[in-house]
Amino acid sequence: MKIASVTAKLITICFLAFACTTAFAGGNEINIDVNEWSLKINKSKIKAGSISFDVLNSGKETHELAIIRLDNKMMADVGKLPVNKHGGIDEDNMNFGEVVGEIEDIVSGNKASKHFKLAPGRYAVVCNIQETEPDGSVEAHYSMGMRALLEVE
């Protein structure tokens, strides 16, 4: 009788531990849709820790996702970050934050996922592709509207 009782308690504990772990893991993910010229994020706030970024490229061009932790001095408007002469963010010369994660080369129609461990703070989530068009002009995806603000609590 004691063995059955102990077994039942162990099964209950294992089930609860699994249920809690599964529920927690499912809550720390962000779904993002990128296309010409928008970046739609399904959450503007999320808890700190390991976060799954699940990106769908529903556009026709290749896109990327760069996650930039913003310094405290930066305003909440991610559309006003300093840019180079072409309208893109110079990731190697930033004085307002740092890139903490990237998912590169998300081809049209494809999905990409990656986990990043984020501390509390404000983050710019952007497509920072800069490409030269056949006419010589430069297309900077960030300046064309592919950006969002993410608050990590």
pLDDT at residue 8 tops 80: no
Q: Tell me the per-residue pLDDT of 60-85, one tens digit each, with 9 for 90 and over.
A: 999 999 999 998 766 668 888 999 99
pLDDT at residue 92 in the model? 85
SS3 19: helix
Contact (CB, 8 A) for 32 and 125: yes
Helix (H) or strand (E) holding 106: strand 97-106
pLDDT at residue 94 in the model? 84
On whether the 29-152 domain is CATH 2.60.40.420, my answer is yes
pLDDT at residue 16 tops 50: no
SS3 140: strand
**Sequence ranges of the domains in the chain:** 29-152
Q: What share of the chain has pLDDT > 90, as a percent?
A: 70
Helix (H) or strand (E) holding 15: helix 2-27
pTM: 0.79
DSSP of 64-96? EEEEEEEPTTS-S-GGG----TTSS--TTS-SS
pLDDT at residue 115 tops 70: yes
